[in-house]
Structure 1
Amino acid sequence: MNILSLKEPAIGLHILLLVFICVASFLILFFVEGKYLKLLYYKFVARKKYPTEEIQTDNDVQMTNEYIRTTDPAQLKEEYAVVIRDLTKYRKKYPAVDGICLGIKPEESFAIAGTSGSGKSTLVRMLIGDTLVSSGKAWVNEFSIITEERKIQHIIGYCPQTDDLLGSLPVIQTLRIFALIRGIPADDCLTVSKKIASIFDLTDHLQKRVKVLSRCNRRKLSTATAIIGNPKVLILDQPTAGMDPISRRHVWDILSYLRDSDKCIFLASDCMEECELLSTRLAMMVNGKIKCIGSIKHLQSKFAQGYYLVIKVKKDAKEKYVSQIENFIKKNFPSAVLRDKFQRMLTYSILDASMAWSKMFALLEKAKKLFSIEDYSLGEHTMEQ
């Protein structure tokens, strides 16, 4: 009997199936790794039309959109390190990211702020090639996110929203692997890894496996892997989420140093304090659209005018005294609006930004003597408020 025959009990059919599976697997791997399937998607599946334009109420957003859309791409790529033109991502029939236009300069720290579900992380994942684009274009350091994503991944440092690390590896091995990927010579990887660990206060955890680290230390490790190798563009998606206040401040100091070193940073965060501290320019994102854009000072002067006033009434004060305080504020601060009243705490927004500080403090000190006020605080409105 011929052992290679296609008839049972010969093994010829099994060998033929094995060869077929090997060839099919190779072809699938070739198409996936070669991005041919993605190119076919962009050619035949992705939507080619731009999203319906919505009337913008903010002039700065309109000017940015018009400039990005009408300027020649070659000029934009010379001027900006990151260029985004009408970038859109649909989730079924609804746009998660809707026609975003942005330009980030090579030495600029730019932040996008917004609540969960506003589209920040989707925008970030499209820039690094992790999510397919429905329509629009974008370039990072002159490389297209559609056709040259591999080149982009060589020049960026990326901290994802989730800790996508190998849990079974020790911290020191994780850092060494990322150092090797970044092109650092093998002889220098250990030294660089220990230095990065020292900067992020991870020295005591070098031999621990990633999966046993706390949430705070995993976030620090994710941020540390992003800055290894001094990438040209740093893309950070909520780098300090889940950190305790001390660790958060420490990471902010590190990122502030990078910002002051003229590193191009693209930050996505739902923490307004983080955005204000780390960025030189800020955009607010709501339901996949940019609603306002500009420097921190510009946005504060435009949207955060006036003052906030918080009054704490004494515990033993009767209800009539609280009413007297409210009448006093209403009479002496005509533009004051009561925003919140909880137990013995009164929170006001004073819309008249022309009132002198000395006059406001004099009136509040007078009220403190006349009524049962335990304490008060007065300050300028912040972007978060």
Structure 2
Amino acid sequence: MEECEALCTRMAIMVNGKFRCLGSVQHLKNRFGDGYTIVVRIAGSNPDLKPVQEFFGLAFPGSVLKEKHRNMLQYQLPSSLSSLAKIFSILSQSKKRLHIEDYSVSQTTLDQVFVNFAKDQSDDDPLKDLSLHKNQTVVNVAVLTSFLKDEKVKESYV
């Protein structure tokens, strides 16, 4: 997807043979992305993450905790709920109080947009529900029998 971002001015994504979106890379990220990803790393070897989690619940309502590791938390925040300026302002003001070592805020990647569309892709085979009864035939047996008995037709091996 990095190549697409570098080389394409417009792109389209197809799902089940139908165009689902068309536009610039930035347009697709804004329209079909999940907003912002915020990664926060807390100082210390085994820090208490509970205060930071409570803080995120209050400061960024609607944020969703996606990953939690020893001293790292990753949140997903819809872009409609907050601006980048507000996110950076809130995090910088609370950095010392919450012992935040560092943090990053990033926009949804094109990979994530593609994965969201891929979830809609179905593996449905239109013929899988096709069922035949005993009296139904797909091949005319009379034609097949005459073909098999025809002496002019020879098998060939390669």
* TM-score, normalised via structure 1 length: 0.27
Match of 2:74 among 336, 347, 352: 347
How far did residue 275 of structure 1 move?
A: 0.8
Structure 2 gaps of 5+ residues are 113-158
**Closer, same or farther: CA 305–345 of 1 in aligned 2, 3 Å:** same
* 1:324 counterpart residue number: 51
**Closer, same or farther: CA 352–335 of 1 in aligned 2, 3 Å:** farther
SS in 2 for 1:340: strand
Structure 1 gaps of 5+ residues are 1-271
Cα offsets for 1:308-348 (capped at 9, x unmatched): 10011223243xx2011011011100021111223322111
How far did residue 290 of structure 1 move?
A: 4.2
Could you tell me whether the CA contact under 8 Å between 1:307 and 1:353 is conserved in 2? no
Aligned residues: 112
* 1:292 counterpart residue number: 21
Higher relative contact order (CA 8 A, sep 6+): 2
1:54-133 matched pairs, under 5 angstroms: none
* 1:380 counterpart residue number: 107
* 1:283 counterpart residue number: 12
* 2:33 counterpart residue number: 304
Amino acid at match of 1:296: V
Could you tell me whether the CA contact under 8 Å between 1:317 and 1:372 is conserved in 2? no
Could you tell me whether the CA contact under 8 Å between 1:328 and 1:367 is conserved in 2? no
RMSD: 2.3
**Closer, same or farther: CA 297–356 of 1 in aligned 2, 3 Å:** closer
SS in 2 for 1:369: coil
Cα offsets for 1:65-105 (capped at 9, x unmatched): xxxxxxxxxxxxxxxxxxxxxxxxxxxxxxxxxxxxxxxxx
How far did residue 305 of structure 1 move?
A: 5.4
How far did residue 375 of structure 1 move?
A: 0.8
CA distance in 2 between partners of 1:305 and 1:342 (Å) = 21
Match of 2:43 among 292, 306, 314: 314
CA distance in 2 between partners of 1:361 and 1:347 (Å) = 15
Could you tell me whether the CA contact under 8 Å between 1:307 and 1:351 is conserved in 2? yes
Amino acid at match of 2:38: L
* 1:335 counterpart residue number: 62
Higher helix share: 1
* 1:150 counterpart residue number: none
**Closer, same or farther: CA 296–275 of 1 in aligned 2, 3 Å:** same
* 1:130 counterpart residue number: none
Amino acid at match of 1:337: V
CA distance in 2 between partners of 1:336 and 1:354 (Å) = 9
How far did residue 380 of structure 1 move?
A: 2.3
CA distance in 1 between partners of 2:2 and 2:41 (Å) = 25
Could you tell me whether the CA contact under 8 Å between 1:338 and 1:347 is conserved in 2? yes
Cα offsets for 1:271-326 (capped at 9, x unmatched): x12112111221224565544332223212211252210011223243xx201101
